[in-house]
Structure 1
Amino acid sequence: MREDTSPSGGPVPWLVRPSARSWHCAPAPAEVRGFHASLPGYAPTPLTELPSLARELRVGRVFVKDESARLGLPAFKVLGASWAVHLVLAARTPGPVTLACATDGNHGHAVARLARLYGRRAHVFVPQDIHPATAAAIAGEGAEVTRVPGPYEEAVRRADEAARMPEAVLVQDTAWEGYETVPGWIVQGYSTLCAETDEQLAAAGAAAPGLVAVPVGVGSLAQAVVTHYRSRTATPATALLSVEPESAACLLTSLTRDTPVDVRTGATVMAGLNCGTVSRTAWPVLRAGLDAAVTVTDADSARASRDLAALGVSSGPCGAAALAGVRALLTGGGATERRHRLGLGPGSVVVLLSTEGRAANPHALPHG
């Protein structure tokens, strides 16, 4: 791990591993996209080009994948939850089912919405510091909400316990030993976001991206992104960047030590990225195929959120972390070396995955 100087004068913890671009894997199942297209209200989310950011970052073109309105919810999470719930229910015999999960906000909201859509019950466990408006939105879908006196990881433990009841099933977007199938389905569901991006870039006459930046909590979306781009044989390969809060850098720490590391998290406005453990199934994929990682401050993320809003893109602090991370790497002290190691030039295409919309209440910015 290196530390250079950011545009604001502070340190930029970062890691670049160009050898990851030579790693290959199998793609996500092709039928995922067709399933999502069959859902009521499905439409691809916008891919918005922002020329002013391209000039600022000194690259050819910058696009933002805007997930502020995905199937009626303010984040991408419903893509993974819907595919997983579809497969979970298909595998069960008829009868009552309660969908249990833990969340910092958007995953639980998605599971609750799907339970209502399928006529099932939902029981959602939330950490103690979740904003009341976030918990109220989940309860508004008809879900039972249990606030846990502890962090996100404790909410996951409680949800796992609740799912051991005969009529309950856990739909969690992080994996651990013995619980890997459903998180794998959730990751597959996120592949639709990548497939849409491919089609939209082609429609805009843009080259394949030189860099894709993705915010990371437990790493499930990043796993889907790595799987998508590393299942290709395109040359040159796309550089893939993970962005985490500096107070919850479980992935950057794990990559630096080359082994999964649990970290103690602190408070951050990037609530949905405030995770101290990388998903068990995501880790080997990220270790092999993710070639760049960086952390950002709350101030970096808040600035990026404001700037995107001024450009017409609704992006909360978690979603705006993608822009904050790219700014940290492509500007400031050491940027020339970082650009070279990422394989970026003045004509490169950069894609920022903005994973959530900007909430009306700036403290209610769920993601995980």
Structure 2
Amino acid sequence: MSENASSLHVLPWCVRPGARTWRCDPAPAEVRAFHAALPDYSPTRLTELPSLAAELGVGRVFVKDESCRLGLPAFKALGPSWAVHRTLVERAANGVEQGQVTLVTATDGNHGRALARMARRLGQNAHVFVPQGVHPQAVAAIVAEQAKVTEVPGPYDEAVRRAAEEAAVPDAVLVQDTAWPGYEQIPGWIVEGYSTLCAEIDEQLAAEGVAEGPDLVSVPVGVGSLAQAVVTHYRSRPSERAAALLSVEPEAAACVLESLTRGEPVSVDTGDTIMAGLNCGTPSSIAWPYLRAGLDAAVAVADSDSARAAGDLAVLGVSSGPCGAAALAGVRVALTGVGAEERRTALGLGPSSVVVLLSTEGPAANPHCTTGH
């Protein structure tokens, strides 16, 4: 069972004792090799920010900057690229005629654009459903990848339902980054795809003299697929100096925090938030067991916290959108303010600790990221 570390009126926060002792199997090693063979692959930056370390009272802070990943302004390209590859290989192995297929998904922006990019590269079709409230610029970016876009007058979960219905025909495949009972294989491949990000962090930290790995990783959470990949990576390693793992959500859509607090997966009604890519009301069914067992803590942050973090990161040379900046916002509210010492103790942090923030996206229009096809 989870326990509240402070009053929910002070900070939406939940801590999970014993998470660092839980273990699972690692992601397949061939995922990294697949991505490394892509023509526009290169590891994204891991940037050290000493001023943040001083502010947070820790030894070192690094930001994994996903503002330009495989030509797109978010980490999302890693998951669909691997999942589509595996899907087409499986179809061929099962004797399915190798004609054009339509890759269908629902998205708040980056996942749909990444899937549309992959479909275009492979000569396939893409149909993307977007919920109410997605920025027109994000919709336009998906259309620019030559995908069909259907705007749904409802929340993300409704867009997922519509996409699943659309894909229930021959020559269509649902490539969704959330899972539910009966639909878990492809979301599992998407999660595997994200493992490349974690493998890069290992190598980059080692080059910075941190071969033993971080003490805390802060990860923004929507349905929990990236968090599942992070948990898988750090909970499949030897138990010595296991990293603490912190999930961060918008206060308007804290489905993982609420599920951890209750001890079972629940859906929540979502509200408006600038963290559009995290505006999800239901945890992924395959992610939930990993989040429940492997996350040390969960926190929810206000839009103002995320906006401030994005501005501060920009000043420090890291291009981050509201979702990516949530990682910093979450660490800030966890490690400062009323009850901070109790939360720091729960996370096992001290003045020499190493913290990694996963900045999962850049601004919607990132001039530093080439977007050629």
Q: Which residue of 2 aligns with 1:125?
A: 129
Q: Which residue of 2 aligns with 1:227?
A: 232
For 1:268 and 1:3, locate their aligned partners in 2 and report how far apart those are by CA, in whole Å. 25
Q: Pick one of 154, 167, 179 that aligns with 1:175.
A: 179
Query: Once the two structures are superposed, what CA deviation does each residue of 1:52-77 show, in whole Å capped at 9, x if it has no partner?
Result: 00000010000000000000000000
TM-score w.r.t. length of structure 1 = 0.95
Asked if 1:290 corresponds to 2:295, the answer is yes
Q: Which residue of 1 aligns with 2:250?
A: 245
**Partner secondary structure for residue 47 of structure 1:** strand
1:40 positional shift: 1.1
Q: Which residue of 2 aligns with 1:267?
A: 272
Cα pair 1:240 1:292 within 8 Å, conserved: yes
Q: Which residue of 2 aligns with 1:365?
A: none
Count of residues paired in the alignment = 358
Asked if 1:258 corresponds to 2:263, the answer is yes
Q: Which residue of 2 aligns with 1:163?
A: 167
Cα pair 1:3 1:11 within 8 Å, conserved: no
1:359 positional shift: 2.9
For 2:132 and 2:258, locate their aligned partners in 1 and report how far apart those are by CA, in whole Å. 26
Cα pair 2:177 2:187 within 8 Å, conserved: yes
1:131 positional shift: 1.3
Q: Which residue of 2 aligns with 1:18?
A: 17
1:95 positional shift: 0.8
Q: Structure 1 segments of 4 or more deviating over 4 A?
A: 3-6
Q: Which residue of 1 aligns with 2:206?
A: 202
For 2:228 and 2:6, locate their aligned partners in 1 and report how far apart those are by CA, in whole Å. 27
1:337 positional shift: 1.2
Asked if 1:147 corresponds to 2:151, the answer is yes
Identity of aligned residues (%): 72
Q: Which residue of 2 aligns with 1:84?
A: 83
**Partner secondary structure for residue 346 of structure 1:** coil
1:3 positional shift: 6.4
For 2:346 and 2:150, locate their aligned partners in 1 and report how far apart those are by CA, in whole Å. 46
1:18 positional shift: 2.8
1:4 positional shift: 4.2
For 1:304 and 1:11, locate their aligned partners in 2 and report how far apart those are by CA, in whole Å. 19
Matches for 1:37-56 after TM superposition, within 5 Å: 37-56=36-55
1:2 positional shift: 3.1
Q: Pick one of 240, 263, 282 that aligns with 1:277.
A: 282
1:128 positional shift: 2.2
Cα pair 2:5 2:342 within 8 Å, conserved: no
The residue type paired with residue 141 of structure 2 is: A
For 2:325 and 2:246, locate their aligned partners in 1 and report how far apart those are by CA, in whole Å. 14
Q: Pick one of 314, 318, 322 that aligns with 1:309.
A: 314
For 1:4 and 1:291, locate their aligned partners in 2 and report how far apart those are by CA, in whole Å. 15
Q: Pick one of 98, 102, 122 that aligns with 2:106.
A: 102
The residue type paired with residue 131 of structure 1 is: H
Q: Pick one of 336, 340, 343 that aligns with 1:335.
A: 340
**Partner secondary structure for residue 253 of structure 2:** coil
1:85 positional shift: 0.3
For 1:145 and 1:132, locate their aligned partners in 2 and report how far apart those are by CA, in whole Å. 12
**Partner secondary structure for residue 90 of structure 1:** helix
Cα pair 2:46 2:63 within 8 Å, conserved: yes
For 1:223 and 1:308, locate their aligned partners in 2 and report how far apart those are by CA, in whole Å. 25
The residue type paired with residue 35 of structure 2 is: H
Segments of 5+ residues of structure 2 without an aligned counterpart are: 367-373
For 2:213 and 2:196, locate their aligned partners in 1 and report how far apart those are by CA, in whole Å. 17
1:234 positional shift: 3.7
The residue type paired with residue 44 of structure 1 is: P
Query: Once the two structures are superposed, what CA deviation does each residue of 1:273-318 show, in whole Å capped at 9, x if it has no partner?
Result: 0100000000011111111100000000000000000000000010
1:334 positional shift: 1.0
Q: Pick one of 191, 196, 220 that aligns with 1:192.
A: 196
Cα pair 1:211 1:239 within 8 Å, conserved: yes
**Partner secondary structure for residue 11 of structure 1:** coil
